[in-house]
Structure 1
Amino acid sequence: MKSELLKKYLVSQSQSVRELMQVIGENARGIALAVDSDGVLITTLTDGDVRRGLLNGLCLKSQIGELVEDKESRIAHPALVVSPDVADDECLRIMEEAGVRQIPVVDEFGHVVDLVSKDLLLDKAALRLNYVAEEPKASSQYEDMEASGVIMAGGFGTRLRPLTDHMPKPMLPINDRPLLEYIVERFERAGIRKLYVSTHYKREVIENHFRDGSGHNVSIDYLHEDDPLGTAGALGLIEKVNRPLVMTNGDILTEIDFRSLLCFHHEHDAMLTVGVRQYDIKVPFGVMNTKGSDVISIDEKPVLDFLVNAGVYVVSPAAYDLIPKNKHYNMTDLIEDILAAEGSVAAFPIVEYWLDIGQMSDYQQAQNDHHE
């Protein structure tokens, strides 16, 4: 790998976690390499490390060095590396045994000189054996997953009128394509190709565009709400659920990896997993910390950060069984019912691009973000 390409993967401990996520997103390999000022490898970092760090109290403005400390507190062994003289076949064996898809190459002094990928090595091996590599499918990135997708698309979109006078909000165009098409495409690329789409307002616009979904390499069943059933009530219209439902609101534009979300759900053995997003509130005044009438300290214009519901979920069959049939029911009701039954609700921090298109300014932001 040329040095200018390698730079796309390198981060320093003084950079922020937010900058780390930008590096991971831009290199499209799901990994970054934390190095010191001399280019010596400290550790590898993934979006999974970021999620764990956020759940452990870090925030996107925290320094990468804090994230490295958080990772080292959980994982005692150093980063897995190979030297430049290790053969491709040996690299593949090491990655296979370790269950990783990428591995840094370092010289005798620990300087990063390359980053090798399992996929690239497999391609090289196929060429070496005179095999013709099979062309990847045009749209599919992964094989089918044992999960179904649900898109809640029945809202009125009143805050986006007059744009929604003649079409439902999920069908508003983003760079000449309906918002809902982006969501369907993300499910398809994750290998989730059995979809349910809940409809109410202007349902025919959605159904006429997507029909049975075959034109988008998915299968779609429509859950029509005669009367609005809330943010979870439409799930009760599904006849039978025997595998997890990956669910998203129909007005969310995101680059979340649904496979990572589903793996997280299984790892935490949760009845329900809720995608959460960090939300900052900037206090425009100095905050006085007091004890009785005494001022102890002052925080000048602090930023308070919270993890808020991002409108993305994984619903297990056990959680689905709690949802009433043909009754108005919200996701907040489901969360409360699960907690009351002492079930497990997991929080999955979303660190990828995410935008809730609730207002006109959000819609304009979506246009700007996806302008080609």
Structure 2
Amino acid sequence: MEKYLIKKNTSLIEALKKITANGEKHVIVISNLGKAIGIISDGDIRRAILKKLKLTLPISKILNKNFLYFKENSFNKRKAIQYLQKSKIFFAPILNSKKIPINFITVNDSAARDLKHFHKNKKTKSEQVVIMAGGLGTRLKPFTNILPKPLIPLGDKTVIEHIIQKFSKFNFNKILITLNYKSKIIRSFFKEVRLKETISFFDEKIPLGTVGCLSKLKNKLRGNFFLTNADSIIDIDMNDFLEFHRKNNNDVTVVAALKKYHVSYGSCLIDRKGNLKSIDEKPRYDLLINTGLYIINSRVLKFIKKNKKTDIDEFLNILLKNKKKVKVFPISDLNWKDTGDWNEFSKLKEI
């Protein structure tokens, strides 16, 4: 149970890391005496981040004290799951007579599969996944002089196979891969492996930046679609991501990872005349870093000019100038693997 429990004075960022590590999207908040006093979800922390609350704040500041729980001495697993599903509640602790957590239950519990009204839909979902795999892989040279970046091995699979699996896990099986550099090798690879997902390709005759080729895909993309780099492996619930995008009626949603940066030196703060105002000794910064994963609604593709090189930052700035709705979906940096940089790639273990 330890990985599902957290003290009330724990910081937001540490809580997010614990939630990410336990895989249940929730933690039970306990007092110094070990009693349950609330729960925190990844959604609670995400909303706090978007409100620009400091990540060093204790979780007691956003604690949900009015939470559902079940009593140990009267607990019935089947009835509990039915109640969770009916109430659209995903997680609830089980407490003993002293309100100390002894277990928890979720709607994903194995017993739920026996309920007639519970059905996990395995049908392929309509939203397409576009993987931008045409880049040169400059950060991974000299390896990419021989092998294209998406086919770099990580464990017993290639990077692009890992990316595809992160989507197919949630039944997003319609994959469109854009190609340019070493496109024949990538096509040959997919002929060989024959994945269960529906894979199609689009060849960029000339490089058009990270999103420029989307101008030529307007007739193939309808409604919301995922767009991802071919070097970003993002381990999140894609259904949650899509629901966030839909609920907010976004034109684009950007997945950003929380990163802590520590400067090892004192930072000099000066005025316009070069006079020293103060020294910030070894400052720390909490930043939201673009991971290269997006959901885009096809209605904004008209802002990409045909045959014009356009990178994602330029595209997003154009949308903002035209007052389109662009939001950020924050995640823990533990959910993001950047395989496009050799220093980062070399730190990765098998996924």
TM-score (norm: length of structure 2): 0.87
Contact 1:198 1:223 in 2 (8 A): yes
Q: Which moved more, 1:348-357 or 1:288-297?
A: 288-297
Check if 1:69 corresponds to 2:61. Answer: yes
1:102 equivalent in structure 2: 91
What are the residue-to-residue correspondences of 1:254-269 with 2, within 5 Å? Answer: 254-269=234-249
Counterpart Cα distance in 1 of 2:321 and 2:69: 46
Q: Which of 206, 215, 218 pairs up with 1:236?
A: 215
2-side partners of 1:23 and 1:281: how far apart? 19
TM-aligned CA deviation for residue 59 of structure 1? 5.4
Secondary structure of the corresponding residue to residue 365 of structure 1: coil
| Counterpart for residue 354 of structure 1 | 336
CA distance in 1, matches of 2:272, 2:209: 44
Cα separation, 2, equivalents of 1:322 and 1:286? 41
Shift of residue 38 of structure 1? 1.6
- Rounded to whole Å, the distance in 2 between the matches of 1:120 and 1:256 is 19
How do 1:48-87 and structure 2 match up within 5 A?
Answer: 48-58=43-53, 62-63=56-57, 65=58, 67-72=59-64, 78-84=66-72, 85-87=74-76
Alignment of 1:266-285 (within 5 A): 266-283=246-263, 284-285=265-266
Q: How far apart, in 1, do the equivalents of 2:101 and 2:270 lie?
A: 47
Q: Distance in 1 between matches of 2:259 and 2:318?
A: 25
Cα drift, residue 370 of structure 1: 1.8
- Structure 1 residue 288: Cα displacement: 4.8
Residue identity matched to 1:35:
I
CA distance in 1, matches of 2:89, 2:256: 26
How big is the shift at 1:337? 2.0
Decide whether the 8 Å contact of 2:266 with 2:279 is kept in 1: no
CA distance in 2, matches of 1:180, 1:359: 15
User: Any stretches of 5+ residues in structure 2 without a counterpart?
Assistant: none
* Residue 269 (structure 1) shift: 1.0
Shift of 1:89: 4.1
Quote how far apart the aligned CAs of 1:211 are: 3.5
Q: Does 1:29 align with 2:11?
A: no
Range with bigger deviation, 196-205 or 15-24: 15-24
The reply on whether 1:309 has 2:309 as its aligned counterpart is: no
Counterparts in 2 of 1:22 and 1:176: CA distance versus 1, 3 Å: same
Whether the 8 Å contact between 2:133 and 2:179 is mirrored in structure 1 is yes
CA contact (8 A) 1:146 1:243 kept: no
Report the RMSD for the aligned CA atoms in angstroms: 2.9
2-side partners of 1:103 and 1:143: how far apart? 29
Indicate the residue corresponding to 1:93 in structure 2. 82
Distance 1:342 1:22, change over 3 A: closer
Q: Secondary structure at the match of 2:161?
A: helix
Between the aligned partners of 2:295 and 2:345, the Cα distance in structure 1 is: 26
Within 2, Cα distance between the matches of 1:271 and 1:119? 31
Alpha-carbon distance in 1 for matches of 2:137, 2:163: 17
Pair 1:113–1:296, CA change in 2 (3 A) = same
Alignment-mate amino acid for residue 258 of structure 2: Q
Q: Does 1:341 align with 2:322?
A: yes
Q: Partner amino acid for 1:154?
A: G
Unaligned runs of at least 5 residues, structure 1 = 1-5
Q: Is the 8 A contact 1:88 1:121 kept in 2?
A: no
Q: Does 1:192 align with 2:172?
A: yes
TM-score by length of 1: 0.83
Q: Which amino acid aligns with 1:82?
A: F
Distance in 2 (CA, whole Å) between partners of 1:121 and 1:164 is 44
Contact 2:7/2:30 (<8 A) preserved: yes
Q: Taking every aligned residue pair, what percent have the same amino acid on both sides?
A: 25
Alpha carbons 1:199, 1:223 under 8 Å: kept: yes
Q: Is the 8 A contact 1:278 1:307 kept in 2?
A: yes
Q: Work out whether 1:224 is the aligned partner of 2:203.
A: yes
User: What letter matches 1:161 in structure 2?
Assistant: K
Task: Give me the whole-angstrom Cα distance separating, in 1, the residues matched to 2:270 and 2:71.
Answer: 54
Question: What is the CA–CA distance in structure 1 between the aligned matches of 2:268 and 2:36, rounded to whole Å?
Answer: 41
2:303 is paired with a residue of what secondary structure? coil
* Distance in 1 (alpha carbons) for counterparts of 2:323 and 2:306: 22
Q: Is the 8 A contact 1:223 1:237 kept in 2?
A: no
Paired residue for 1:321?
A: 302
* Deviation of the 1:220 alpha carbon: 1.4
In structure 2, the residue matched to 1:3 is none
Question: How far 1:124 moved relative to its partner?
Answer: 8.0
